[in-house]
């Protein structure tokens, strides 16, 4: 211990030394001292969350060219390197102790070897740079959901981003019990040119789950560097596994019902499937758009938003379709734009923003002009398709008052949604908890689009929309969900939605705002105010209920013809999906719970019985109300 204090005392200024020693946890002192010894920074800055310290971080991000001011004085832009524009899944590995395995779905390497490689990469990585030490809390402060996190980085952009996204935790750490579990994050952006990481070919993320520590290096893209986001989610899933709760890649929102009633729902959607837009639907309240912790409390499922901000995909945000987000991004709320185009008048532009294509500007490739190509001769768009915005939730007019409630909110329903052109109906309710876990959560798929690399229309297996972040064997993760429902006396309903069903002419069968109607039906079902029709795959709305909801909430008719086309049972596609999902679990998930196959087999039998009676494509009017 004296050695750690000696390192800190010899490296930190008096002011920073006092700020760090005000936190009495010796584990914190050792972690910071080890990072200093390893990375060898020129200076160390300890942020105490004061206005002066947090403003210093923002100003320094600008001074170091990691961010550039925009015409709006509260806004900045950050550019990641040309080849550092997304999460690097191939180079994100778990460091696994000898004798352990996480299953074939997760990239992993021997812990001892991985730590050696990682520490070699980080050795001296902060030479001639300043180290930033920050303290945050995942979930509300002083809550059963709280997880304290130490973030060390040499990127002031990273430190600034996390200031917008997470609850500041310096004072929380000062009163932290010594036995409280802590997550540890160490990041170095490596060699920089014009404020951007250039050694991207040697970037990597190593997750040492034995010590709750994440290391990342030679990268600045937020998904690889903001340790509290998906990197911490991986650690949280393991913690939840040990403690019998759920850490999920889900939004959290309040859907408003009659007479001021509010019902809270969570939802898991793969990227590009409507996750953020669902949490921001008109007339309802957002709690969070990305990560949710769910615990059993007195027999009920209660949940919190892990974050206090949004790191959102900005592509396709328009004034017409996303007025709340649009207004916030043009307000005086502090925000960071990444990998957008900056015009000559210092304003941001992004793809599909419903404005004329710009004539020029600056983007992640440098000076941009129409027709500019990359080294492979491919035309460079004026903004990256994965361009983002980072903004705090406190400016949202539709923010729910429960954001910082340490007790969380009671969950009435859980939604799973993917991009599916021909199988799932727009909305349905599971037959029970286990049926929902297996046929909706564990069976979630999403089709690729032109916005992603590779061919369009390819179904990708996306169980619980959490496949990239599950840090325990997949079969165990599913069993944890099944067991969680058994501990509840008030079990949330489970729903599946599909906003992307196509008609025979190749056009979507639903308008974008139809999700408002599906949410209202779910809210009504949870509270016993709507009927349902029992089908082999789940419970679907009646036409009468939807007709009323569309008229009251969307001010338009919902015809019986539309209802029959959208909610018909597509038996060949359903059977194909059932077989496909069963095959994935049978062939690639050796620890699959027996319940997966039992529930899928039972659904297959119901589908075949319905085909014998009604044919391949069955009108919802053929089935009886439940």
Q: Which residues are catalytic?
A: 273
Q: How far is CA 548 from CA 264, 265, 326, 541, in A?
A: 22, 22, 30, 11
Q: Which residue spans within 484-560 are E strands per DSSP?
A: 493-497, 533-535, 538-540
Q: Which DSSP category does 385 fall into?
A: T
- Tokens in use for 558? 């919902």
* Beta carbons within 8 Å of 175's beta carbon, 6+ residues apart: none
- State the CB neighbour count (10 A cutoff) for residue 442: 28
Do 44 and 16 form a contact (C-beta atoms < 8 A)?
A: yes
Look-up: residue for tokens 């004085």? 73
Q: Which of left, alpha, beta for 568 (phi over 0: left; psi -120 to 50: alpha)?
A: beta
DSSP assignment letter at 428: E
8 neighbors 29 (Cβ within 8 angstroms): yes
540, β-bridge pairs: 533
Tokens encoding 335? 């925000």
Q: How many CB atoms lie within 10 A of CB 143?
A: 17
Specify burial of residue 452 (Cβ count, 10 A radius: 0-12, 13-18, 19+).
middle
- How would DSSP label each residue in 100-157? ----TTS-EEEHHHHHHHHHHHHTTTTTTSEEEEEEEEESSTTSTT-EEEEEEES-HH
- Answer positive or negative: Cα dihedral of 277, 279, 283, 285: negative
Bridge partners (DSSP) of residue 256 are 262
Closest by CA to 94, choosing from 82, 105, 78, is: 105
Q: Is 343 exposed, middle or buried (0-12, 13-18, 19+ CB in 10 A)?
A: middle
């Amino acid at each position: 211990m004296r050695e750690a204090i000696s390192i800190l005392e010899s490296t930190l200024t008096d002011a920073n030394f006092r700020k760090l020693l005000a936190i009495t946890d010796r584990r914190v002192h050792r972690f910071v001292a080890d990072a200093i010894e390893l990375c060898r920074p020129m200076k160390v800055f300890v942020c105490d969350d004061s206005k002066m310290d947090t403003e210093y971080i923002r100003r320094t991000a600008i001074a170091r060219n990691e961010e550039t001011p925009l015409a709006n004085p509260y806004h900045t832009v950050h550019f990641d390197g040309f080849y550092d524009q997304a999460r690097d899944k191939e180079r994100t590995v778990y460091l696994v102790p000898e004798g352990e395995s996480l299953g074939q779905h997760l990239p992993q390497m021997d812990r001892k070897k991985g730590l050696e490689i990682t520490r070699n990469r980080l050795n001296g990585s902060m030479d001639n740079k300043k180290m930033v030490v920050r303290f945050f809390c995942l979930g509300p402060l002083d809550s059963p959901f709280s997880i304290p996190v130490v973030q060390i980085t040499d990127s002031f952009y990273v430190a600034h981003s996390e200031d917008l996204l997470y609850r500041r935790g310096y004072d929380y750490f000062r009163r932290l019990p010594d036995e409280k579990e802590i997550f540890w994050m160490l990041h170095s952006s490596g060699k920089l040119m014009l404020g951007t990481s250039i050694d991207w070919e040697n970037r990597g993320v190593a997750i040492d789950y034995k010590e709750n520590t994440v290391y990342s290096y030679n990268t600045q893209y937020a998904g690889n560097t903001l340790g509290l986001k998906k990197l911490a989610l991986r650690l949280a899933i393991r913690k939840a596994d040990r403690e019998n709760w759920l850490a999920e890649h889900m939004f959290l929102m309040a859907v408003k019902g009659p007479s001021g009633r509010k019902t809270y729902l969570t939802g898991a959607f793969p990227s590009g499937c409507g996750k953020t837009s669902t949490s921001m639907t008109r007339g309802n309240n957002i709690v969070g758009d990305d990560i949710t912790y769910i615990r059993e409390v007195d027999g009920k499922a209660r949940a919190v938003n892990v974050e206090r901000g949004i790191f959102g995909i900005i592509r396709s945000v328009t004034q017409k379709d996303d007025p709340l987000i649009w207004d916030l991004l043009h307000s005086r709320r502090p925000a960071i734009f990444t990998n957008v185009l900056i015009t000559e008048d210092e304003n941001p532009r992004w793809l599909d923003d419903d404005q004329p294509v710009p004539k020029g500007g600056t983007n992640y490739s440098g000076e941009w002009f129409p027709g500019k190509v990359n080294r492979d001769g491919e035309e460079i768009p004026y903004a990256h398709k994965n361009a983002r915005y980072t903004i705090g939730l406190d400016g949202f007019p539709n923010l729910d008052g429960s954001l910082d409630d340490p007790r969380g909110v009671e969950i009435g329903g859980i939604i799973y949604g993917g991009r599916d052109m021909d199988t799932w109906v727009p909305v349905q309710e599971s037959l029970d908890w286990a049926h929902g876990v297996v046929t909706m959560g564990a069976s979630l798929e999403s089709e690729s689009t032109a916005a992603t690399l590779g061919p369009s229309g390819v179904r990708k297996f996306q169980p619980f929309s959490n496949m990239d972040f599950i840090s325990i064997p997949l079969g165990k993760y599913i069993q944890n969900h099944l067991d969680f429902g058994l501990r509840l006396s008030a079990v949330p309903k489970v729903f599946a939605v599909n906003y992307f069903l196509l008609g025979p002419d190749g056009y979507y069968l639903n308008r974008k705002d139809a999700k408002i109607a599906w949410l209202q039906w779910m809210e009504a079902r949870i509270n016993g105010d709507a009927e349902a029709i029992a089908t082999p795959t789940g419970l679907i709305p009646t036409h009468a209920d939807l007709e009323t909801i569309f008229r009251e909430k969307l001010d338009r008719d919902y015809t019986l013809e539309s209802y029959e086309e959208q909610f018909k049972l597509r038996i060949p596609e359903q059977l194909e999906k059932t077989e496909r999902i069963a095959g994935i679990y049978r062939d690639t998930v050796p620890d699959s719970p027996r319940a997966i196959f039992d529930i899928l087999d039972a659904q297959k039998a119901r589908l075949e019985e319905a085909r014998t009676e009604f044919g391949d494509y069955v009108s919802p009017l053929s089935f009886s109300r439940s």
